[in-house]
């Protein structure tokens, strides 16, 4: 399938570069941007092609990725709608946070195959956790989009009603993880380590723990079992864990998810 990106910002660039690095033929990628030079630059870098306009791109591809800002999406849809509606084999995938499938379908004014994609900031380093949901898309279209997103991390298919909790767990949580690492680094600083060394140590420890969770998940092991594996009676790990729980660690993290979902519902 030929895939076209309308918009060539940081996320579109990350996905396109990841796709090519994972083996996607650059000839299958097309870019368009309101500043044509930006689309041409990315196309030249990857060996792909640039369309002369958004409408031209919609004529050329099988999947249209709307990678523009949410505030600009309706104008782009109005521009490409006649072309997309006239080509029932084409599907549209939206990267716009907060815009639902129903809202996007209403903008097109017709029932077309739609997908909504929610990656996170780690796509820029090939480690995104991405959610995908669809309406009217074929299995092949869904598979093509999921494969595209797998090139920059992991992808999960979920119902759209769970996007707010996904956003909290996968997108908002990045800031919380940054805060956790910074807090560990400050603790290291308190005990004589440099801040830079503390950040490196804590970040790698977090990355290793995450990799172990995902690897052990394949065997059905849950995080609580891994906790048991690394704690020993009267040891340093259980002492620190109990101190963190006494300070409200679990309650604070669950509260953070609740607050993010609550905020999302008010924004909607």
Binding annotation for NADPH: 54
Binding annotation: 6-11, 54, 67-70
CA 73 to chain centre: 18
167 burial level (CB within 10 Å; 0-12, 13-18, 19+): buried
Binding annotation for NADP(+): 6-11, 67-70
CA distance 17 to 13: 6
């Amino acid at each position: 399938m030929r895939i076209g990106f309308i918009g060539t910002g940081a996320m579109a660039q990350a996905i396109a570069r990841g796709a090519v690095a994972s083996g996607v033929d650059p000839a299958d990628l097309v870019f368009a941007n309101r500043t044509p030079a930006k689309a041409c630059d990315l196309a030249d870098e990857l060996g792909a092609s640039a369309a002369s306009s958004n409408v031209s791109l919609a004529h050329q591809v099988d999947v249209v990725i709307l990678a523009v800002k949410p505030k600009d999406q309706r104008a782009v849809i109005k521009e490409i709608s006649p072309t997309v509606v006239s080509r029932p084999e084409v599907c549209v995938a939206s990267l716009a946070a907060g815009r639902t499938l129903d809202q996007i379908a209403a903008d097109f004014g017709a029932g077309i195959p739609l997908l909504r994609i929610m990656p996170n900031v780690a796509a820029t380093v090939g480690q995104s956790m991405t959610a995908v949901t669809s309406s009217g898309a074929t299995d092949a279209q869904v598979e093509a989009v999921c494969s595209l997103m797998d090139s920059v991390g992991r992808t999960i298919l979920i119902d759209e009603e769970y996007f707010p909790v996904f956003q909290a767990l996968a997108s908002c949580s990045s800031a919380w993880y940054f805060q956790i690492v910074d807090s560990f680094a400050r603790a290291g600083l308190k005990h004589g380590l440099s801040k830079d060394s503390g950040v490196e140590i804590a970040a790698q420890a977090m990355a290793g723990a995450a990799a172990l969770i995902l690897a052990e998940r394949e065997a059905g092991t849950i995080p609580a079992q891994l906790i048991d594996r690394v704690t020993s009676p009267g040891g340093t790990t259980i002492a620190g864990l109990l101190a963190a729980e006494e300070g409200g660690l679990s309650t604070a993290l669950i509260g953070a998810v609740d607050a993010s979902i609550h905020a999302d519902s008010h924004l909607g």
